[in-house]
Structure 1
């Protein structure tokens, strides 16, 4: 029996003007159809994620994560409806399931958005120099991004530190990754995008004469930014960015009632049982070998269990060490008074409040992205070449401590 609200939703979805409005909203993206060069890869990702969620509940959320969970690889050969086989892999599935729970993304929400039965993905092409592909889920709630194997190996090696940072700073501005998957399918090289239809991402030089007006949120924002940048500096990475989007606040958003304030306070400081991630996660990060985590896409071995992964050297030895999984990032993770400064007083009323800040006149969407670049030999040589070519040290290829200081100074000077 359908309720009046559900009947209204169905009639609204079938409304012709609603369909026109949704099509207009997608005017800057490319629908991934059968002629798209990444269509087969995305279809395999869809089938692999559905299979994992429906047939492997043991890879879901765990209250106590073990060291093996951080380096476990779920590998399975899957047959599509057209009869073609492909290899699907999911990395540290239980760990990412805990991250999804921490940001209040249920399995049903994730599955219906990222791996729906027949809805299309959308690609948006930007002027980013990374050369990677960016796709949107059909409801534009999640981004699917390709990345280089080298960067993913590094990310897996710091996964324990990544979770502990969110435990210490629940409202961190560092972007939240909700899953890591791979498929071995053939594809076509990415073509150079035409100027038409390209989403232009403005750089810092486009922001010299602009500012971020956060009002009473300024102090918290800069304090949290320092914590995040300090964490990235300690990891030895550089060349990260603060992705910033904004739109003007409507009058309804600016006029907050007392009930709205109480609800936002409750969301930010909901009380629950305290949990913590032990320092064993940091030890684990040092034990995992980069080359052993992301395997080459060759051959089709059977599905690996956690014990089999340990036999292949994913951990130094089989241990029974456990630690509590990540708690909710939307609520308080500690009752200590000194930890209150690590959380924002009021989270915004939206679907992803951890990366949304309401300023004086605008709503800002913020996230620290692209933090996989280590300052290694390649970057050191590039720094020398850039100095010789441009006769200046004003470029992004600098050591992590210098990059962090310059990054903070640039944003602090433009935040009101």
Structure 2
């Protein structure tokens, strides 16, 4: 048939066919080049792409201890909480309060745990108790809880308002805090867990910190890190313009005002509150609710022989709103770059994992870096979460709105919570009380017996609420 075509037409067909072949070859070469470029970019560490620079905070790479700690926390929480959550709900038993579930993770994985980026051990304490607290009393949706904690992290390494030196890590949606705690705090929380559980059940609107989980990570060379998962008192959708940590103690309880003027995120203290003439602007109805709940919570802490706790107060001015963009300017994203394609188990005839594969995996892994929050799916929520709306002190945009004497709303929202509730009055605190009492008024220092602490705490907060007379009488002479 081709032999019957005119010579000119035959030549045109050949030229067209050659042109099509050239275009196809060019497209294939271009696609291959793009694929290679994408693969190279994926393998290149983010720090190298950005010239070893991150937009906010300090670079946390794979060899940074906090990076490893965060990754291990995230992995352990995902597996431990999922295991408990997948089981059929049942009534609690006394043994549930002392239960400890152990998990071992390594680079290859085994029948019980998936492969992990690092070798570590994870311990989940009283998982059934915390499951009931989350679901029955704190109204958390299990799926939301897991998704929030095991997806991207909003990371800000903030020091504790006190002197504990704990690290705080925020969940993806800023709802939960992962806080590292000292072994003594961990042991004390486990000790009072049955009483704490009972107090939450009988006081659904308690201002005490809400504990959602208690865990431990054991890093290589035997280092053990205990941590709790708690509620974030401050909302994801509102800037906090002033923050106060109020104990009722006034000796040494002042943050320098010259520093505070340069640091909008500074946590101010009792003397700052008094000297600035602050008071909780609450009408008769809301004032009565707050003082009664503080009375119940402080009575519980007195029974547990706890001291050194404080009322954390975040103040949002509704007229000022979010124009200062305080949250987005100080937070960043952490997301482990997990290469699932590399997680194939290779088992030798002896039944043991091939160590060469584990070494290859470790070499192949790359660290992830913090990134600034952008206008994408990682952005902070624009409204409060559903679970907070069940509670009186979080009913107004996640907080407690100021009211006048006629109980009409004002332009201030308070975010309130009693924090640091795991410090008992021990013999060491008794020595601190005696020593500091030699140099200052022993009734106004922080370290006082639990009963005196609870009484002073409630008296101070009553005084600094509208109609209470103010806090001047608590100042040291």
TM-score bin, normalised by smaller chain: 0.5 to 0.7
Matching residue within 216, 224, 247 for 1:182: 216
**Match of residue 286 from structure 2:** 217
Cα offset, 1:34, TM superposition:
3.4
> 1:114 is paired with a residue of what secondary structure?
helix
**Residues 122 and 135, structure 1, Cα contact 8 Å, conserved in 2:** yes
Cα offset, 1:412, TM superposition:
0.5
Matching residue within 111, 114, 133 for 2:167: 133
Tell me the distance in 2 between the aligned counterparts of 1:27 and 1:234: 47
Give yes or no for the alignment of 1:122 onto 2:156. Answer: yes
What stretches of structure 2 of length at least 5 have no aligned partner? 1-53, 108-114, 226-258, 322-386, 404-409, 467-477
**Residues 125 and 198, structure 1, Cα contact 8 Å, conserved in 2:** no
Tell me the distance in 2 between the aligned counterparts of 1:27 and 1:219: 46
Deviations 1:237-279 (A, max 9, x none): 1111001101123699xxxxxxxxxxxxxxxxxxxxxxxxxxx
**Residues 126 and 198, structure 1, Cα contact 8 Å, conserved in 2:** no
**Match of residue 402 from structure 2:** 359
Cα offset, 1:197, TM superposition:
8.0
Give yes or no for the alignment of 1:151 onto 2:181. Answer: no
- Larger Rg, first or second structure (1 or 2): 2
**Match of residue 305 from structure 2:** 236
**Residues 233 and 400, structure 1, Cα contact 8 Å, conserved in 2:** yes
Deviations 1:294-351 (A, max 9, x none): xxxxxxxxxxxxxxxxxxxxxxxxxxxxxxxxxx9976xxxxxxxxxxx84x86154x
Cα offset, 1:63, TM superposition:
4.1
Tell me the distance in 2 between the aligned counterparts of 1:388 and 1:365: 36
Structure 2 length normalisation: TM-score?
Answer: 0.56
Tell me the distance in 2 between the aligned counterparts of 1:27 and 1:148: 31
**Match of residue 325 from structure 2:** none
Give yes or no for the alignment of 1:104 onto 2:139. Answer: yes
Structure 1 length normalisation: TM-score?
Answer: 0.63
What RMSD over aligned residues (CA atoms) do the two structures have, in Å? 3.1
Tell me the distance in 2 between the aligned counterparts of 1:198 and 1:67: 46
Cα offset, 1:79, TM superposition:
2.1
**Match of residue 459 from structure 2:** 409
**Match of residue 88 from structure 1:** 122
Which segment is superposed worse, 106-115 or 68-77? 106-115
1:191-270 equivalence runs, <5 A:
199-208=265-274, 209-215=277-283, 216-249=285-318
Cα offset, 1:198, TM superposition:
9.6
Paired residues, what number? 293
Cα offset, 1:52, TM superposition:
2.1
Larger RCO: 1 or 2 (CA < 8 Å, sep 6+): 1
Tell me the distance in 1 between the aligned counterparts of 2:57 and 2:95: 40
Tell me the distance in 1 between the aligned counterparts of 2:203 and 2:175: 23
Tell me the distance in 2 between the aligned counterparts of 1:155 and 1:61: 26
